[in-house]
């Protein structure tokens, strides 16, 4: 690679100035906007709104599990519809959309020093198609028969049969159509994120100077572009099976005593397609969180991230490995048992780069100058929950240990801890961190502290004990546990406790939403760089940054993103666009 980083000189101009679309009206400025920052806020607001629906659905489930038989309106059909919609919304329409469409859109152009995404018009379309996907999803609540109750994994044959809510009604069709739309919309955005990172970085911003946030979102987007097509074809094939009577996934079947007109299809083929998408999806959610939390820890501990290059390679390595582990979701699916040897080995190998990331986070704290701000608290809580959830992954990934635990509440507890609670704690910390850049004001600290403590401790108290209910052998996806003999009286009490915690944690999120709105007007003025951070988004001439991000001239990058507490420097941070050499900066290269 050409060395573009002389310490004092200005690197050669590599990035041509971009022609921006200039909005002519209120509509093109705030609604049909091509500014990535507006699109980011649109994505985030939509994802949060649909996420609140998922939150209420989880309350309904917990009412049923904690207090069985008390609430007549939660019929078995309704329960299965609630869990299905909760799972799908959280994984796809909230987490994926918020990390990539929300944080990706806002942060990528700012952090790499670009004026905007490289294809702003396609970027705008991406959001509107996402919104359409969400609306189609929501419409299934009002369709005849209601939404699908097939579980978020949508396994055929049951997903398209009468014994499942929405199977022979509109529910499953609307779900599949919505997913297809989502993937189309995401692809438009995803191509933007990838090309922007590769082609629109400002002068001096080498790949190995990118903040880890960008590395995380970038790698996750590449993975999503490779993984979502598997889900796309699976959805199309199932739609054909349901609507046109094909038999991609449908073998000969007797339903309620009657032979169906299907034959020769393979239900397990769907599972392979689904998990070929579904496992990378876990990391599509996790890698942006890894990247963001690295930057939160580094900034608020006033210390460079430890082992930057190892962190980058760990992100890339985890991304690549995650494409060869998918069948660890299928150890008891009836696939050939010898696959178990291969997939258990690959799965446990992934633990190594993942552990390296954890070590490097905690080693960043070591000999730091730790400011216990709200974003830092969330970052610490992330490490606790991620380590906890990651370690229980070593149970489920180790094929024979998975046999008794698979399809029990242990699995539910594991994946909520590792890809629910942990990434959401990062999202929350990240919102406290970047809200001042987006609005110019700080979020209220007292509400933030309340929100943090209830969310962290409440979520831990929900999901840590839940593992033990699974260890007892209690299966997941049971709306009714009174007929299950392994479920003891005391375990029912524990379920009631978990439900109460779930309501508390949900309530804290409402306080957070109130804080988001209240602080727009009443928050303390933040200034341009309240956390005294090094990365480019904090060096904009205006806060919030205007369309085009960086005034007249694009910034020039002279150093990596982690020059905190450089010995001999006057301040404890040196922005990436600060020319000259200060103290004894030792940038890894």
Nearer residue to other proteins within complex by CB, 144 or 567: 567
Contacts of 232 (CB under 8 A, 6+ apart): 179, 180, 183
In the complex, what is the shortest distance from the CB of residue 162 to other proteins, in angstroms, rounded to a whole number? 8
Q: Report helix, strand or coil for 3.
A: coil
CA 69 – CA 492 distance, rounded (Å): 13
Selection from 467, 501, 451, 535 nearest residue 66 by Cα: 501
494 binds other proteins per the rule CB under 8 A: yes
Strand boundaries in 257-337, DSSP class E: 258-259
Residues in the chain: 589
469 binds other proteins per the rule CB under 8 A: yes
Nearer residue to other proteins within complex by CB, 28 or 246: 246
# of chain residues touching other proteins (CB under 8 A): 117
Per CB under 8 A, contacts with other proteins among 186-245 are none
Per CB under 8 A, contacts with other proteins among 328-347 are 332-334, 337-338, 340-341, 344-345
Among 398, 444, 499, 509, binds other proteins (CB under 8 A): 398
Q: Where are the alpha helices (DSSP H) in 140-211?
A: 171-199
- Residue by residue, DSSP assigns 535-589 as SGGGG-SSSSPPTTSSSSS-----S-TT-BS-TT-SSSB--TT--S--TT-----
Among 122, 207, 363, 500, binds other proteins (CB under 8 A): 363
352 binds other proteins per the rule CB under 8 A: yes
Nearer residue to other proteins within complex by CB, 28 or 266: 266
Segment interacting with other proteins, rule: CB under 8 A, options 138-146, 169-177, 384-392, 535-543: 384-392
CA 165 – CA 142 distance, rounded (Å): 13
In the complex, what is the shortest distance from the CB of residue 181 to other proteins, in angstroms, rounded to a whole number? 25
Query: Parallel, antiparallel, or unpaired: how do β-strands 258-259 and 254-255 relate?
Result: antiparallel
Among 27, 121, 366, 514, binds other proteins (CB under 8 A): 366
CA 64 – CA 97 distance, rounded (Å): 29
Segment interacting with other proteins, rule: CB under 8 A, options 1-9, 209-217, 288-296, 396-404: 396-404
586 binds other proteins per the rule CB under 8 A: yes
Among 244, 254, 446, 517, binds other proteins (CB under 8 A): 254
In the complex, what is the shortest distance from the CB of residue 172 to other proteins, in angstroms, rounded to a whole number? 13
Rg (CA), the chain: 24
Selection from 418, 391, 532 nearest residue 95 by Cα: 418
Nearer residue to other proteins within complex by CB, 43 or 432: 432
Per CB under 8 A, contacts with other proteins among 77-136 are 77, 80
Per CB under 8 A, contacts with other proteins among 552-571 are 562, 564-567
404 binds other proteins per the rule CB under 8 A: yes
Q: 94: which 2 tokens?
A: 């909230």
Per CB under 8 A, contacts with other proteins among 261-280 are 263-268
Nearer residue to other proteins within complex by CB, 30 or 359: 359
Q: 125: which 2 tokens?
A: 């379309």
Q: What angle do CA 219, 223, 227 make, to 5 degrees?
A: 170
φ and ψ at residue 24, rounded to 5 degrees: -105, -15
In the complex, what is the shortest distance from the CB of residue 533 to other proteins, in angstroms, rounded to a whole number? 14
Per CB under 8 A, contacts with other proteins among 140-169 are 149-151, 155, 157-158, 161, 163-165, 167
């Amino acid at each position: 690679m050409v060395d573009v980083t002389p310490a004092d000189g200005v690197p050669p101009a590599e990035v041509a100035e971009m022609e921006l679309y200039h909005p002519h009206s209120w509509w093109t400025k705030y609604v049909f906007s091509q500014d990535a920052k507006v699109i980011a806020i649109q994505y985030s607001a939509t994802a949060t709104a649909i996420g609140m629906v998922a939150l209420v659905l989880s309350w309904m489930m917990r009412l049923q599990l904690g207090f069985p038989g008390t609430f007549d309106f939660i019929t078995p059909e309704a329960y299965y519809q609630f869990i299905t919609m909760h799972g799908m919304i959280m994984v796809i329409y909230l987490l994926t959309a918020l990390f990539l469409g929300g944080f990706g859109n806002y942060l990528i152009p700012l952090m790499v020093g670009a004026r905007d995404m490289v294809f702003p018009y396609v970027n705008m379309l991406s959001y509107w198609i996402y919104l359409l996907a969400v609306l189609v999803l929501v419409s299934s609540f009002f369709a005849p028969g209601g939404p699908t109750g097939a579980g978020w994994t949508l396994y055929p044959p049951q997903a398209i049969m009468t014994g499942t809510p929405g199977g022979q009604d509109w529910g499953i069709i609307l779900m599949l159509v919505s997913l297809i739309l989502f993937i189309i919309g995401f692809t438009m955005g995803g191509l933007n994120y990838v090309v922007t990172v590769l082609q629109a970085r400002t002068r001096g911003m080498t790949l190995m100077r990118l903040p880890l946030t960008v590395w995380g979102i970038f790698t996750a987007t590449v993975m999503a572009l490779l993984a979502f097509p598997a889900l796309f074809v699976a959805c199309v094939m199932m739609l054909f099976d349901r609507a046109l009577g094909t038999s991609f996934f449908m073998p000969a079947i007797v339903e309620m005593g009657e032979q169906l007109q299907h034959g020769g299809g393979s239900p397990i083929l769907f599972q392979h397609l689904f998990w070929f998408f579904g496992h990378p999806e876990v990391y599509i959610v996790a890698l942006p969180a890894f990247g963001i939390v690295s930057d939160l820890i580094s900034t608020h501990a006033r210390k460079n991230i430890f082992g930057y290059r190892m962190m980058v390679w760990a992100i890339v390595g985890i991304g690549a490995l995650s494409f060869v582990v998918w069948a660890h979701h299928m150890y008891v699916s009836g696939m050939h048992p010898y696959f178990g040897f291969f997939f258990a080995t690959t799965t446990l190998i992934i633990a190594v780069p993942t552990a390296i990331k954890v070590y490097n986070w905690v080693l960043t704290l070591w000999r730091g100058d730790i400011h216990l701000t709200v974003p830092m608290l969330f970052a610490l809580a992330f490490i606790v929950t991620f380590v906890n959830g990651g370690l229980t992954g070593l149970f489920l990934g180790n094929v024979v240990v998975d046999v008794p635990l698979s399809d029990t509440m242990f699995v539910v507890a594991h994946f909520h801890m590792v890809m629910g609670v942990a990434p959401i704690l990062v999202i929350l910390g990240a919102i406290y961190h970047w809200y001042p850049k987006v609005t110019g004001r700080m979020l209220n600290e007292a509400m933030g502290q309340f929100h943090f403590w209830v969310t962290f401790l409440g979520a831990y108290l929900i999901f840590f004990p839940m593992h033990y209910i699974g260890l007892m052998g209690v299966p997941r996806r049971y709306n009714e546990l009174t007929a299950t003999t392994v479920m003891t009286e005391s375990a029912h009490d524990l379920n009631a406790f978990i439900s109460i915690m779930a309501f508390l944690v949900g309530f804290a999120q409402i306080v957070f939403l109130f804080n988001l709105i209240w602080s727009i007007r009443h928050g303390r003025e933040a200034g341009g760089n309240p956390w005294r951070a090094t990365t480019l988004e904090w060096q904009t001439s205006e806060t919030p940054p205007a369309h085009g991000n960086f005034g007249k001239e694009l910034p020039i990058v002279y150093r990596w993103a982690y020059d905190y507490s450089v010995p001999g420097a006057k301040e404890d941070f040196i922005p990436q666009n600060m020319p000259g050499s200060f103290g004894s900066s030792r940038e890894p290269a």
